[in-house]
């Protein structure tokens, strides 16, 4: 019988016990974070956390719809907003690898009947949101045919393709139309047959409706449920498990090559999105991937660090704009660092006023909110008002956006980022002189801001 060193066995047992205790401590902290976020009205949804390649946390918390009668389970599907655009981007690259298109092809090669500008926009422009296409009035559009009719009525692009960035669904819609034209099947059929089925994403589906079983329905803070109808087709809804399968398919290149994946992670400029949102390649490895999405009152966030086998997935059907804060706290817990309990975001209190907002009115509302609820909302970071500013910028309410960003620079005068945001608002409005002043101030405060340096070089010509 071989000699057994009992002392060594004892130390091994101690090491295992310590590791288990540490893991349990992290689980307890994450669970407390999620429960507390739910109690504060900040999170109603599903969570999956993988760390070092192993599942360490899974939870469904809250309700399936506005009636608040049925509890969520991890079998429920959620809309994932803009993250669903990864499916059309991947489809484009699948067809590229099959030799059926080139990303430099002009969209007129595949879509006929559009104005002359279709001969100037490439597929790459669509993937990088640099087409110059204006955002359509989606509230007045009921289906794909109506979206195409609206595009045909566009006489002029907002800018020359490839020279600027504007994130909108006009680019998404045309990507899906190109896939359908080349393959001879609807985009929905392509995703189902060529992506979901091969990856065994058995619960995922495209364009769920009101009668789809196990579909979480989104609702606002007033308890009003959003209709499931969307302006254009092609939106994939996922469960936690299928969401993780999707991320793993990207990390292991099950549908497209590392080179194609890298193309979908190469933005027009720093801090801009591309086909897969944001991320980075390390050689032939997908080192990191982050993408968030919002649709109706759904929100979703995926962050993945393939180097350490970590993926965090958050999906909610009651938008509160705090998923990044919750994710940040989770990441700190996993890393053994201090963390902060998320608070309500200022934009949730101002959301209903943005369509007809003035800068003065919003700042008055902000001040009143700060006096009345000093501990409930996140007033402590520059993100609070920056998020409001960008929401206004997306609505092309330039004056109100500039007022918000200007005020934010008085709150955070040492932040290069807030001056960068203000500069972007001035540039978007067309005031190059003030944009240049604020980009320069941003670089003074943050010399690492290469994007602002590029803007200074361009605007200073």
Burial class (CB within 10 angstroms; exposed 0-12, middle 13-18, buried 19+) of 343: buried
pLDDT at position 12 is: 46
Residue 23's pLDDT is what?
59
Q: Name the nearest CA neighbour of 286 among 314, 247, 242, 312.
A: 247
| Res 380: pLDDT | 87
- Name the phi and psi angles at 285, rounded to 5: -120, 140
| Pick from 274, 53, 253: nearest CA to 167 | 274
Domain segments of the chain as ranges: 81-334, 346-459
Distance between start and end Cα atoms, the chain: 84
Q: Hey, CA dihedral for 46, 49, 50, 54, is it positive or negative?
A: negative
**Which residues of the chain fall below pLDDT 70?**
1-24
pLDDT at 5: 57
Residue 199 has a pLDDT of: 98
Neighbours of 130 (CB within 10 A): 26
CATH of domain 346-459: 1.25.40.10
How confident is the model at residue 10, as a pLDDT? Answer: 45
Whole-number pLDDT of residue 14: 46
Q: Is residue 350 helix, strand or coil?
A: helix
Q: What is the pLDDT of residue 152?
A: 96
Q: Residues near 1 by Cβ (< 8 Å), separated by ≥ 6? A: none
What's phi and psi for 117, nearest 5 deg?
Answer: -60, -20
Query: Three-class SS of residue 25?
Result: helix
Rg (CA), the chain: 23
CATH top-level class for 81-334? alpha beta
Is the overall model pTM greater than 0.95, yes or no? no
DSSP states along 254-317: SSS-HHHHHHTT--SSTT--BTTBEEEEETTEEEEEEEEEEETTEEEEEEEEGGGTEEEEEEES
3-state SS, residue 109 = helix
């Amino acid at each position: 019988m071989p000699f057994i060193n009992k002392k060594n066995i004892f130390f091994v047992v101690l090491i295992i016990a310590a590791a288990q205790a540490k893991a349990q401590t992290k689980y307890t902290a994450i669970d407390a974070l999620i429960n507390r976020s739910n109690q504060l009205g900040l999170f109603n949804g599903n969570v999956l956390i993988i760390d070092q390649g192993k599942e360490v946390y899974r939870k469904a918390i809250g309700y399936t719809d506005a009636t608040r009668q049925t509890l969520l389970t991890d079998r429920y599907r959620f809309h994932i907003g803009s993250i669903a655009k990864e499916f059309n981007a991947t489809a484009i690259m699948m067809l590229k690898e099959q030799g059926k298109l080139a990303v430099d092809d002009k969209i007129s090669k595949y879509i006929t009947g559009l104005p002359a500008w279709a001969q100037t926009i490439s597929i790459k422009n669509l993937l990088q949101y640099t087409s110059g296409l204006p955002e359509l009035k989606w509230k007045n559009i009921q289906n794909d045919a109506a979206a195409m009719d609206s595009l045909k009525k566009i006489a002029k692009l907002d800018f020359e393709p490839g020279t600027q960035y504007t994130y909108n669904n006009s680019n998404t819609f045309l990507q899906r139309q190109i896939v359908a034209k080349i393959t001879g099947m609807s985009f929905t059929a392509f995703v189902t047959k060529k992506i979901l089925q091969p990856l065994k994403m058995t619960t995922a589906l495209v364009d769920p409706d009101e009668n789809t079983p196990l579909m979480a329905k989104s609702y606002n803070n007033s308890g009003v449920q959003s209709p499931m109808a969307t302006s254009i087709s092609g939106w994939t809804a996922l469960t936690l498990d299928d969401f993780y399968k999707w991320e793993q398919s990207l990390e292991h290149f099950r549908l497209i090559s590392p080179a194609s994946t890298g193309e979908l992670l190469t933005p027009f400029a720093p801090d801009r999105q591309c086909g897969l949102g944001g991320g980075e390649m390390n050689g032939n490895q997908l080192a990191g991937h982050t993408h968030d999405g919002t649709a109706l009152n759904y929100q979703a966030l995926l962050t993945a660090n393939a180097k350490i086998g970590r993926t965090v997935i958050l999906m909610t059907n009651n938008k509160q704009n705090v998923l990044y804060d919750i994710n940040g706290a989770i990441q700190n817990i996993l890393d053994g660092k201090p963390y902060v309990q998320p608070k309500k975001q200022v934009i949730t209190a101002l959301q209903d006023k943005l369509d007809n907002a003035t800068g003065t009115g919003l700042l008055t509302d902000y001040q009143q909110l700060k006096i009345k609820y000093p501990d409930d909302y996140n007033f402590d970071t520059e993100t609070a008002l920056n998020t409001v500013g960008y929401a206004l910028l997306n609505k092309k309410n330039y004056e109100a956006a500039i007022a918000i960003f200007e005020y934010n620079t008085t709150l955070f005068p040492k932040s290069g980022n807030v001056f960068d945001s203000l500069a972007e608002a001035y540039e978007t409005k067309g005031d190059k002189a003030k944009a240049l002043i604020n980009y320069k101030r941003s670089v003074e405060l943050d010399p690492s801001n290469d994007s602002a340096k590029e803007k200074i070089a361009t605007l200073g010509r």
